[in-house]
């Protein structure tokens, strides 16, 4: 599970590490990515277009996307 994806930009080293993780898991293991950043903005987080293409291809190719809207549960009073 990758939580809070997109809180910081991905320099070339982080891009490489992310690619290695995603590539090693592709079609073998599930990977859950949680982000507050809309998927359409993920490409801009990468400092390298080649890694962006490669990573997002592996993530989005067979993905199930769940997009939630509304107020954060942290703001609700129980």
In sequence order, which residues have a C-beta less than 8 Å from that of residue 21 and are 6 or more positions away?
Answer: 31
Tokens at residue 72, please?
A: 């954060």
The answer for residues whose C-beta is within 8 angstroms of residue 34's C-beta and 6 or more apart is: 1, 2, 3, 4, 5
Q: What is the pLDDT of residue 78?
A: 64
Q: Using CA atoms, how far apart are residues 52 and 59, in angstroms rounded to an integer?
A: 10
Per-residue DSSP letter, 2: B
* Stated pTM of the model: 0.78
Structure tokens at 48: 């390298």
Q: Does position 72 have pLDDT exceeding 80, yes or no?
A: no
| Encoded tokens for 54 | 């490669």
Per-residue pLDDT of 36-56, as tens digits, reads 898 899 999 999 999 999 999
């Amino acid at each position: 599970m990758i939580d809070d994806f997109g809180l910081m930009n991905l320099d070339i080293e982080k891009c490489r590490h992310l690619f290695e993780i995603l590539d090693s898991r592709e079609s073998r293991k599930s990977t859950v990515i949680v982000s507050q950043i809309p998927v359409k903005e993920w490409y801009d987080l990468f400092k390298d277009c080649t890694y962006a293409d490669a990573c997002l291809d592996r993530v989005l190719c067979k993905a199930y996307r769940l997009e939630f809207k509304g107020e954060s549960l942290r703001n609700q009073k129980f």
